[in-house]
Amino acid sequence: MAVSTYAMSVNTNISGQFASNILHFDFDDAGYGTTANAAKNLCDGWVAGGGHGAMAALVSVHTTFLSLRARKINSTGGFEGGHGFAAGTTGARIGNLSAAGLSCCLILIPQGNAKERGRIFLPGLSDADCTNGIFTAAFITALGANVPTFLAPFVLAGGGAPTAQIKLYSRKLRLTRGVEALNLSYAVAQVRRRQRPI
Q: What does the alpha-carbon distance between residue 25 and residue 17 come to, in Å, rounded to a whole number? A: 26
pLDDT at position 198, please?
Answer: 39
**Which tens digits make up the pLDDT trace of 73-121?**
987 766 899 999 999 999 999 999 887 678 899 999 998 877 888 889 9
pLDDT at position 77, please?
Answer: 62
pLDDT at position 22, please?
Answer: 93
pLDDT at position 196, please?
Answer: 47
pTM, two decimal places: 0.90
Q: What does the alpha-carbon distance between residue 196 and residue 194 come to, in Å, rounded to a whole number? A: 7
pLDDT at position 17, please?
Answer: 86
Q: What does the alpha-carbon distance between residue 64 and residue 69 come to, in Å, rounded to a whole number? A: 16
pLDDT at position 29, please?
Answer: 94
pLDDT at position 170, please?
Answer: 82
Q: What does the alpha-carbon distance between residue 5 and residue 93 come to, in Å, rounded to a whole number? A: 32
pLDDT at position 197, please?
Answer: 44
Phi, psi of 135 (to 5 degrees): -65, 140
Please list the ranges in the chain whose pLDDT falls under 70: 1, 77-78, 100, 191-198
Strands (E) located in 73-159: 81-84, 102-110, 118-122, 130-131, 134-135, 154-155
